[in-house]
Structure 1
Amino acid sequence: MTLTVTNGAQAYAPARSKQTEAGVKLDMGTYGATLGVYRIEQPSDGYSIQTDATTATYVREGQQINQGVELNVFGEPVSGLRLLGGVTVMKTELKDTLNGANDGNRAIGVPSFQLNAGVDWDVPGLQGATLSGRMLRTGGQYADAANNLSLPAWNRFDLGARYTFKVDQRDVTLGANVENVANEKYWESALGGYLSQGEPRVAKLSATIDF
């Protein structure tokens, strides 16, 4: 049986979302923190096909509600050692899906949590030299509205170094970074229903000058 698609060449109307958030900030100079909560209501990434005897119509399916708590902290516990970290915990839910089939499920591509931590260390005795490290961890997420396909949590570690000096009274910074030091193989995201593969180990060199 051949069905005629009624809206195959048509674009969907612009999606509308509603976001509510609140937060507090503490800044004590050498250390501080921010805490925020949010709620986002938006159309989901799911699509369905409604059919009858002769036609098929693509329709955007359901609403997506994301709620989360985000905490970020920073500090310099000793001179030359700077720490920065953050964690976000997210709850997501689908509602008003076609025939209620996926109501209550998690939305596509929204991880259950995200954790980031970084450190900068000024090398003693070598003015202008700094070593850095960063850890990223992202929780599991679903790749379909039915929550049958999922991506596991993943970790990534980055290392870097930079050296700052002056040339004609201008600051020059040379940098070297290695991302995904362990060359971990992972799926980074399912946002939008498309799988994104994590980058392999990569080295980056940079040079900047202040004018």
Structure 2
Amino acid sequence: MVYQPIPEVSLYASYTRSFQQVVGTTFDRRLFKPERGTQWEVGVKTDLTDKLSATLAYYNITRSNVLADDPENAGFSVQTGEQNSQGVELDIAGEILPGWKIIASAAYTDAKVTEDADFSGNKLNNVPEFGASLWTTYEIQRGDLQGLGFGFGLFYVGERQGDIANTFTLPSYVRTDAAIFYQEDNFRASINIKNLFNIEYFESARNDREVFPGDPLTVVGSVSWKF
């Protein structure tokens, strides 16, 4: 549902229920139950200018029979009784000035196991309590260098649990990305740089024996033509 009290502001609310069959077995070969979920969300979207908008939302998601990596038996899964995730998200996107675009977001998430014989009260693994990102680009609008652009971004991921048993944590990190691109008519060429300063960080984990590091300094070039 969407309600627009004035043209620049939209209030919205949504409600969703889900059902999904889960494939696989536990370590002791028991079949998994189907996963069920309920989600509701309320928020407000406002047009700061005719090219820049902001959205503030609160959401609440409850899921039951959710699979999690088995902390005691690598390569297997366990099924938690019920999980709940709720939080607040703020997003700002659009064009600040001619050629200068921005995508910014910040989120607070409270995600935990709410009903389970073994893990009740534990935080969900790989879910940071705080996260934020900023990506901005500027494209030269006129002159001999028209079409040349630059991008810069910061991505913050807070501390999070490494497994569903909450036996260890993954540290927070800030990753810096960058880009340079050129486009004219149907032609576009770009160089994208991930992890500009080559920091060492962990993206996720299944257990204390399977912890996955983030990519090192990575440079990807691309050329495209639209027909």
What is the TM-score normalised by the length of structure 2? 0.75
Q: Deviations over 1:14-37 (max 9, x none)?
A: 322222112221133221101111
Aligned structure 1 segments of 4 or more residues deviating by more than 6 angstroms: none
Question: Where do residues 81-100 of structure 1 align in structure 2 (5 Å cutoff)?
Answer: 81-98=100-117
Q: State the AA in 2 paired with 1:177.
A: N
Distance 1:8 1:86, change over 3 A: same
Q: 1:177 aligns with which of 192, 211, 218?
A: 192
Aligned pairs, number: 192
The corresponding residue for 1:107 is 124
Question: Greater CA radius of gyration, 1 or 2?
Answer: 1
Query: In structure 1, how many angstroms separate the alpha carbons of the residues matched to 2:195 and 2:71?
Result: 37
Structure 1 residues 80-89 or 172-181, which shifts more?
A: 80-89
Gaps (5+ residues) in structure 2?
1-25
| Per-residue deviation, 1:39 | 1.1
The answer to whether the 8 Å contact 1:46/1:62 transfers is no
Q: State the AA in 2 paired with 1:29.
A: D
The corresponding residue for 2:214 is 198
Query: In structure 2, how many angstroms separate the alpha carbons of the residues matched to 1:11 and 1:129?
Result: 56
Q: Deviations over 1:95-151 (max 9, x none)?
A: 2222xx533221122111221101111236311111011111111110123322000
| Per-residue deviation, 1:74 | 2.2
The corresponding residue for 1:3 is none
State whether structure 2 residue 95 is matched by structure 1 residue 76.
Answer: yes
More strand by share: 2
The corresponding residue for 2:59 is 38
Query: In structure 2, how many angstroms separate the alpha carbons of the residues matched to 1:60 and 1:165?
Result: 52
The corresponding residue for 1:19 is 39
Structure 1 residues 101-110 or 175-184, which shifts more?
A: 101-110
The answer to whether the 8 Å contact 2:177/2:193 transfers is yes
Identity %: 28
Q: State the AA in 1 paired with 2:38.
A: K
| Per-residue deviation, 1:60 | 2.3
The answer to whether the 8 Å contact 2:100/2:138 transfers is yes
State whether structure 2 residue 167 is matched by structure 1 residue 148.
Answer: yes
Distance 1:60 1:47, change over 3 A: farther
Query: In structure 1, how many angstroms separate the alpha carbons of the residues matched to 2:188 and 2:115?
Result: 53
Query: In structure 2, how many angstroms separate the alpha carbons of the residues matched to 1:187 and 1:157?
Result: 15
